Chains A and B, each alone.
Chain A
């Protein structure tokens, strides 16, 4: 199956060597996208996170040990494995920009997409979201709150894309040719290390154009041919080796 072609392709280029795992992106994501806090977040299978920062280890004993952190949003795959399995077309990849949509009121909660996603980027609402009294006042008006029983995922802060387009229209600019920085996700914006760069990979004026073509850039499980729209950059060979399944003596990309 060929990936759909889009004029604009929103892409994240995450420099793993710059991420220190502080968690600011995860908190910013929850606040931006109206996720609910939980009392006990240690049972990770039941905890909703659109963005998770995983810890990577080179598995060497002290003192040769090295550590890296890998922020994992939805990969917005070019060939999304989740889309083809959805029985109700609650998720689709059909909008200019290539963001995989998820319309939660349409979702019937069958969770086929979760089984299909190779990146564990999809989350099921096991419980109704609840906020301590008064904290619901801090919800943003940009993202609808999802009830229990539906699947949700990172949307690259799609509402910010819509807002950026509207702003461009009002200012008389072309909403289909946004400037670099007009539209950035909440995690990219929050990161104090600048580890996440966001933009249109098809537009040479955007920083991600070069970054995605960097010799150190590769994608998660690239050989599944899901064609993700998230690029990871690391100058460390051991990190890149862990991003895909390599044979023991196989040459790592980059």
Chain B
């Protein structure tokens, strides 16, 4: 008690009050740095695709289209990623001398193993997403999207990339950082302008299984 009394009586009360608020702001800044910068570093681990794949080479040099690999099957389901067999239609033997292509043929084509591609937008089991329903015809009754615009409203636009983007995996949930949450779906599904104009509805079973 005596100490404190002495301390406060030494005439330096103003700076001490200012110094009193400083720890608070230091704490605030530390928290902001931790929360906005360090936390994402800790939460996500970086992963790379198991095989180096250049969309650019396939699009520009080979003249392929998105739908050569990513297409709707006859039964309405979506062939998201090509199988090793469909890659082998061209790559049964190396077409060039890229070491990754040679490795791909040795490790996958020759053994029949499937590539475990990392999917940036992979949805949980309880979600049913219909690529057939989210079509140009449906959205462009009002909008004026190009195919690229429509696809890249959910997926990263990789068409012109030589290297696949880094895949950030959430260590807790094991989902990709870019996996859409329900609110993202609801931007359209719960939008009143969509009712009546599209078949979109915000009913639970429209997206859940």
- A–B interface present (Cβ within 8 A): yes
Known contacts A94-B204, A143-B209; is-contact A163 B199 (Cβ 8 Å)? no
Distance A101 CA – B128 CA, assembled complex (angstroms) = 13
Interface size counted on chain B using CB atoms at 8 A: 23
- Per-position contact with B for A88-125: 1 when CB-CB < 8 Å, else 0? 01001011100101011100000000000000000000
Number of interface residues of A (CB under 8 A): 27
Contact residues of B between 191 and 209, Cβ < 8 Å to A = 199, 201-206, 208-209
CB-contact partner of A158 in B124, B125, B126, B209, under 8 A: B209
**Residues A162 and B128 in contact, CB atoms below 8 Å apart:** yes
Contact A101 B199 (CB under 8 A): no
Chain A's nearest CB lies how many Å from the CB of B177? 20
**Taking A104-B126, A163-B77, A165-B130 as contacts, is the C-beta distance between A170 and B201 under 8 angstroms?**
no
How far apart are B173's CB and chain A's nearest CB, in angstroms?
Answer: 12
Asked if B157 is at the interface (CB within 8 A of a chain A CB), the reply is no
Among residues of B, the one whose C-beta sits closest to the C-beta of A170 is B76
Q: Does A159 sit at the interface, judged by CB under 8 A?
A: yes
Q: Is the CB of A166 within 8 A of B133?
A: yes
A168: CB under 8 A from chain B?
Answer: yes
Beta-carbon contact of A155 and B205 below 8 Å: yes
A-B contact count (CB 8 A): 71
A158–B202 CA distance with the chains assembled, in angstroms? 16
A residues in contact with B201, CB < 8 Å: 94-96
**B46-85 to A contact mask, C-beta < 8 Å, 1/0:** 0000000000000000000000000011111100000000
Tell me the complex Cα distance, A163–B133, Å.
11
- Complex contact B209–A144 (CB within 8 A): yes
| A24 is an interface residue with CB less than 8 A from chain B | no
A194 to B60, CA, bound (A): 55
What residues on A are CB-neighbors of B203 within 8 Å? 92, 94-96, 101
How far, in whole Å, are A126 and B191 apart by their CA atoms in the complex?
38
Q: Which residues of A contact B72 (CB under 8 A)?
A: 170
Within residues 162 to 179 of chain A, which ones have a CB less than 8 A from any CB in chain B?
A: 162-163, 165-170, 175-176
Q: Indicate if B114 sits at the interface (CB-CB under 8 A).
A: no
The interface residues of chain B lying within 8 Å CB-to-CB of A170 are 72-76, 132
In Å, the complex CA distance between A166 and B208 comes to 15
Interface string of B104-130 (1 = CB under 8 A from A): 000000000000000000001110101
A145 at the interface (CB under 8 A from B): yes
* Residue numbers in A under 8 Å from B13 (CB-CB): none
Q: Are A166 and B126 in contact (CB under 8 A)?
A: no
A66 near B: Cβ within 8 Å?
no
Tell me if A205 counts as interface (CB < 8 A to partner B): no
Cβ contact within 8 Å between A95 and B135? no
Which residues from A are CB-within-8-Å of B74? 170
Q: Contact check: which of B128, B133, B135, B199 meets A159 at CB < 8 Å?
A: B128
Is A168's CB under 8 angstroms from B126's CB? no
Q: Are B130 and A162 in contact (CB under 8 A)?
A: yes
A and B contact pairs by CB, cutoff 8 A, 16 listed = A92-B204, A95-B204, A99-B205, A101-B203, A104-B126, A144-B126, A145-B125, A158-B205, A158-B209, A165-B76, A165-B133, A166-B76, A167-B75, A169-B133, A170-B72, A170-B75
- Ordered nearest first, which 9 A-B pairs have the shortest CB separation? A166-B76, A95-B203, A144-B125, A101-B205, A167-B76, A166-B132, A101-B204, A94-B203, A169-B132
- B residues neighboring A (CB under 8 Å): 72-77, 124-126, 128, 130, 132-133, 135, 199, 201-206, 208-209
Add 16 more A-B contacts to A144-B124, A165-B132 (CB < 8 A): A92-B203, A94-B202, A95-B203, A103-B126, A103-B204, A105-B126, A143-B209, A144-B125, A158-B205, A162-B130, A162-B209, A163-B76, A166-B132, A167-B76, A168-B76, A170-B73
